[in-house]
């Protein structure tokens, strides 16, 4: 079943709400994730992190260790591709590991979906149509129907509950009438989710991506003073790279390629331990 959300952030928040997690439940995730796949879990449960090495990658053994820990995790939430380094975790094998440990898996496919086939073995998948040429506001959250069949509506308002009194809404409806996550009229399925036919497809597209990624990394690495982050040159990645230029302000590093070459660069400064609002600060 697919619930069409506005974006991956909303899709993962939606799932975190729907899984009915409590403060003592554990979700295993990794330090490689986008905030979309961290903060919703921190809001509802305890998060057990799989740490990464200095290249921003992690080993399946570390995942296996986290999955075996106590308390037994309710979910393993992992990215299909890092939005920072382009690294592609071995998600197929990780899903298998997780299932062997009896833990369902969410794959955050926001960054993976435009480049690689989705993983049917995942229990839950979330991705954004707008990252693959669909209109904004069309992000599927895919999972088994039973997850979405019961419980409070994610959005409480008219059209979401068929029965409402001044003190209670829909909670005591007969099961047949509970439809907590039915779509609204503004929800649109990505109408053209895959790249246009003139682009190379399948394996050729992956190979082309890897070629671009290696050009990007080697080019950036050859610039004096720049240091490319992420896995080494032998590890295939998506064509995205992060880099630092020591002793030069990041805004200037980004401004020059933009002003002089028309290249768009996203820049910023990472705070390793930013202050978080209390509702998100739980470990
Ligand atoms: C890996 C990953 N997950 C989640 C997101 C959030 O996606 P959205 O902005 O569509 O909610 C992004 C956005 O770049 C991402 O790269």
What's the pLDDT tens digit per position in 94-127?
999 999 999 999 999 999 998 888 889 999 999 9
Query: What pLDDT is stored for residue 271 in this prediction?
Result: 61
Rounded to whole angstroms, the Cα distance separating 55 from 81 reads: 14
User: Apex CA 119: angle with CA 113 and CA 124, to 5°?
Assistant: 90
Predicted TM-score (pTM) of this structure: 0.83
Instruction: Output the CA 9–ligand 1 centroid distance in Å.
Output: 7
Query: What pLDDT is stored for residue 186 in this prediction?
Result: 38
Find where tokens 């393993």 sit. Answer: 76
> What DSSP designation does 10 have?
H
Classify domain 2-194 at the CATH topology level: 3.40.640
Query: What pLDDT is stored for residue 269 in this prediction?
Result: 77
Query: What pLDDT is stored for residue 29 in this prediction?
Result: 98
CB 25 within 8 A of CB 70: no
Query: What pLDDT is stored for residue 233 in this prediction?
Result: 79
Which distant-in-sequence residues (6+ apart) come within 8 Å of 109 by Cβ?
A: 8, 80, 81, 118, 119, 125, 126, 127
CB 89 within 8 A of CB 97: no
> Measuring from each residue's beta carbon to the nearest atom of ligand 1, which residues come in under 6 Å?
7-9, 34, 36-37, 79, 83, 108, 110-111, 128
Return the number of other C-beta atoms located less than 10 Å from residue 117's C-beta.
9
For 248-261, letters b (16+ CB in 10 Å) and e give eeeeebbeeeeeee
Query: What pLDDT is stored for residue 171 in this prediction?
Result: 47
CB 225 within 8 A of CB 245: yes
* Nearest alpha-carbon partner for 130 in 216, 34, 36, 4: 4
Give the residue whose CA is nearest to atom 16 of ligand 1: 83
Secondary structure tally for the chain: helices H, strands E? 7, 9
Query: What pLDDT is stored for residue 168 in this prediction?
Result: 67
Query: What pLDDT is stored for residue 32 in this prediction?
Result: 95
Query: What pLDDT is stored for residue 183 in this prediction?
Result: 47
What is the location of CATH 3.40.640.10 in the chain? 2-194
Query: What pLDDT is stored for residue 277 in this prediction?
Result: 62
pLDDT < 50 stretches in the chain: 171-178, 183-200
DSSP for 93-152, please give it. Answer: HHHHHHHHTT--EEEE-TTTTTTS---TT-SEEE--GGGGTSPSS-EEEE--HHHHHSSS
Query: What pLDDT is stored for residue 208 in this prediction?
Result: 87
Query: What pLDDT is stored for residue 198 in this prediction?
Result: 43
**Ranges of H-type helices in 140-201:** 145-149
Instruction: Output the CA 152–ligand 1 centroid distance in Å.
Output: 26
Rounded to whole angstroms, the Cα distance separating 132 from 115 reads: 9
> What tens digit of pLDDT does each residue of 159-206 get?
555 566 677 665 434 444 445 555 443 344 444 344 433 444 667 878
Query: What pLDDT is stored for residue 155 in this prediction?
Result: 79
Return the number of other C-beta atoms located less than 10 Å from residue 134's C-beta.
19
The preferred substitution site among 83, 190, 242 for testing ligand 1, maximizing ligand atoms within 8 Å of CB, is: 83
* Nearest alpha-carbon partner for 265 in 278, 253, 247: 253
């Amino acid at each position: 079943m697919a619930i069409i959300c506005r974006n991956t952030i909303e899709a993962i928040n939606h799932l975190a709400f729907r899984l009915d997690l409590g403060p003592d439940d554990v979700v295993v995730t990794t330090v490689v994730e986008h905030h979309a796949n961290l903060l919703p879990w921190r809001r509802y449960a305890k998060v057990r992190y799989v740490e990464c090495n200095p290249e921003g990658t992690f080993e399946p053994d570390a995942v296996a260790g986290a999955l075996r820990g106590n308390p037994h995790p309710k979910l393993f939430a992992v990215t299909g591709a890092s939005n920072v380094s382009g690294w592609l975790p071995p998600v197929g094998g990780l899903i298998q590991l997780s299932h062997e440990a009896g833990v369902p898996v969410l794959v955050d496919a926001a960054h993976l979906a435009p480049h690689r086939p989705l993983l049917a073995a995942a229990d839950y998948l979330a991705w954004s149509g707008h990252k693959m040429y669909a209109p904004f506001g069309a992000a599927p959250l895919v999972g088994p129907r039973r997850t979405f069949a019961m419980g409070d509506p994610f959005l409480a308002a008219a059209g979401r509950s068929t029965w409402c009194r001044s003190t209670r809404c829909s909670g005591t409806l007969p099961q047949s009438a509970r439809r907590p996550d039915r779509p609204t009229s503004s929800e649109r399925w990505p109408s053209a989710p895959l790249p246009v036919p003139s682009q190379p497809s399948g394996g050729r597209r992956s190979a082309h991506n890897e070629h671009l990624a290696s050009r990007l990394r080697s080019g950036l690495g050859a610039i004096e003073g720049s240091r490319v982050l992420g896995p080494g040159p032998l590890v295939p990645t998506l064509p995205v790279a992060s880099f630092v230029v020591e002793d030069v302000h990041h805004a200037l590093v980004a401004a020059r390629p933009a002003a002089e070459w028309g290249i768009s660069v996203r820049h910023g400064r990472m705070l390793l331990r930013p202050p978080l609002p209390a509702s998100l600060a739980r470990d």
